[in-house]
């Protein structure tokens, strides 16, 4: 009898263990467990802001096993806290402030800052120098790069890394190549380094044949931080742009995002914090500049960004600009009462086909209405 009782107790204990295992498996399978960090697929990231709809060329996130990534013994993911998804005062709860409300700072109002951008894991140092990437599909993950990346390959991904460049770019996609993605990465530079004391320098430059995705990145120092005619720029924090002179003694022009026009694809700039604190007499141009330097500007979406600084915070593409949609942006007064030195917006073509200006406001809640084009 005693033997049967012991046998029943053993079977009961085994049953409880099995039930517990099934509960844990179900929680993991349905995604209800809390990992404390943004998932690799980046469908929802710190601050509770959903990722934008993917561009047609954007593929699913590659596995680190396909890349020259750190060894299996590299440090485990960091445990630094991510910002709360709880809406702040003045926030609509969707990552942008409620229409007409005041905003005190980017992070307080649901916009990207240092807490919601950059790598999510511990890094391994790589002194690459000026490295050429020539392997299609290469994934660089978990690298602390001292150098720059010159990309001569398709579908390269840089994720959860840091780049400290002494070149005139951090990452440059060369003509004839496509599919570059830069996610959850810090990109910074040594001011004035590279040819011509840095010359016209770029954190990420797209010279390629397709859209480039840059998301959840912390970008600083570079004078023209994100430079491209087509791309998907979302959830980035661009700040502390450095003013410096080239070898001719001219001040470097500075823009957090710059496009020179003549683009063939769409440029989407959504839910970024774009700051340009450089003084206008030291080269400040814009927080977001759409310029017709190499052709007319067309097919640009500028939605739900925090913009501050520059001569004007936003340049709208000029008389020939078409298909420019500027919606729900906050023009911050943190550097100048008018957001930019001279005001929030210039060169806006209100009569251009497909141009839309809607829901844009100052950080104190006042609506921003562009002046009529000359």
What pTM was estimated for this model as a whole? 0.76
- Comparing 91-100, 128-137, 254-263, the range with the smallest average pLDDT is 91-100
DSSP string of 201-240, one letter each residue: -EEEEE-SSS-EEEES-EEEE-SEEEE-SSEEEES-EEEE
Question: Does pLDDT of 324 surpass 50?
Answer: yes
> Are 194 and 218 spatial neighbours (Cβ–Cβ below 8 Å)?
no
* Long-range contact set of residues 163-168: C-beta below 8 Å, sequence gap at least 24: 163/187, 163/188, 164/188, 164/189, 164/190, 165/189, 165/190, 165/193, 165/194, 166/190, 166/193, 166/194, 167/130, 167/193, 167/194, 168/193, 168/194, 168/195, 168/196, 168/198, 168/199, 168/200, 168/201, 168/202
pLDDT tens column, 192-246: 676 666 655 899 999 987 899 999 999 999 999 999 999 999 999 999 999 888 8
* Closest of 38, 18, 52 to residue 269, by C-alpha: 52
Minimum mean pLDDT range among 137-151, 164-178, 244-258, 323-337: 244-258
- Which helix or strand (DSSP H or E) is residue 189 part of? strand 186-189
Tokens of 304: 């739900």
Please say if the pLDDT value at position 270 is more than 80: yes
Residue 121: Cβ within 10 Å count? 20
Residues 11-31 have a mean pLDDT of 43
Q: How many other C-beta atoms are found inside a 10 Å radius of the C-beta of residue 227?
A: 24
Strand ranges (DSSP E) for 46-90?
49-50
- How many angstroms separate the CA atoms of 321 and 370, rounded? 15
**Taking 70 as the threshold, does the pLDDT of residue 125 lie above it?**
yes
CB within 8 Å of 373: residues ≥ 6 apart: 319, 347, 348, 349, 350, 351
pLDDT at 264: 83
Q: Strand order in 356-358's β-sheet?
A: 139-141, 157-159, 181-183, 212-215, 231-234, 267-270, 298-303, 322-327, 356-358
Residues of the chain with pLDDT > 90: what percent? Answer: 60
**Structure confidence at residue 145 (pLDDT):** 97
Q: How many CB atoms lie within 10 A of CB 85?
A: 14
**How many Cα atoms are found within 13 Å in the side-chain-facing hemisphere of 149?**
32
Confidence of residue 86 (pLDDT cuts 50, 70, 90): very low
* Coil, strand or helix at 48: coil
Angstrom distances, CA of residue 132 to CA of 176, 230, 349:
15, 22, 40
CA 326-362-346 angle, to 5 degrees, is: 55
Listed range (106-115, 196-205, 223-232, 362-371) with the worst mean pLDDT? 196-205
Do the bridges between strand 284-290 and strand 312-316 make them parallel or antiparallel, or are there none, so unpaired? parallel
8 A C-beta contact, residue 141 and residue 159 = yes
Q: Which of 116, 88, 212, 91 is nearest to 158 (CA)?
A: 212
Count of beta carbons in the 10 Å neighbourhood of residue 58: 17
Q: Under a CB-based contact definition with an 8 Å cutoff, are residues 215 and 51 in contact?
A: yes
């Amino acid at each position: 009898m005693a033997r049967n009782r012991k046998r029943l107790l053993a079977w009961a204990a085994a049953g409880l263990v099995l039930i517990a295992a099934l509960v844990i498996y179900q929680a993991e399978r349905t995604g209800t467990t809390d990992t404390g960090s943004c998932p690799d697929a980046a469908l929802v990231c710190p601050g509770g802001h959903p990722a934008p709809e993917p561009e047609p060329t954007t593929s699913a996130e590659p596995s680190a096993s396909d890349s020259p990534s750190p060894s299996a013994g590299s440090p485990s993911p960091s445990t630094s806290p991510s910002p709360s998804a709880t809406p702040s005062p003045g926030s609509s709860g969707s990552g942008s402030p409620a229409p007409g409300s005041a905003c005190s700072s980017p992070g307080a109002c649901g916009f990207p800052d240092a807490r919601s951008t950059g790598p999510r894991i511990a890094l391994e140092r790589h002194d690459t120098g000026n490295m050429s990437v020539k392997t299609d599909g290469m994934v660089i993950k978990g690298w602390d790069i001292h150098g720059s990346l010159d990309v001569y390959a398709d579908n390269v991904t840089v994720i959860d890394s840091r780049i400290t460049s002494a070149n005139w770019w951090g990452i440059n996609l060369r003509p004839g190549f496509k599919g570059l993605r830069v996610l959850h990465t810090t990109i910074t530079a040594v001011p004035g380094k590279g040819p011509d004391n840095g010359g016209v320098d770029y954190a990420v430059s797209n010279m390629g044949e397709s859209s480039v995705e840059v998301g959840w990145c912390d970008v600083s120092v570079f004078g023209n931080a994100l430079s491209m005619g087509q791309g998907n720029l979302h959830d980035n924090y661009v700040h502390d742009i450095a003013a410096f002179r080239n070898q001719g003694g001219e001040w470097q022009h500075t823009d957090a995002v710059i496009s020179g026009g003549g683009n063939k694809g769409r440029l989407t700039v959504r839910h970024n914090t774009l700051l340009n604190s450089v003084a206008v007499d030291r080269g400040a141009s814009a927080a977001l500049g759409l310029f017709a330097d190499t052709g007319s500007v067309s097919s640009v979406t500028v939605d739900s960004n925090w913009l501050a600084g520059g001569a004007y915070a936003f340049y709208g593409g000029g008389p020939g600009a078409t298909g420019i949609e500027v919606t729900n942006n906050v023009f911050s007064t943190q550097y100048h009462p008018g957001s930019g030195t001279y005001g929030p917006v210039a060169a806006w073509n209100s009569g251009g086909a497909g141009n839309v200006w809607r829901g844009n406001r100052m950080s104190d809640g006042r609506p921003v209405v562009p002046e009529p084009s000359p």
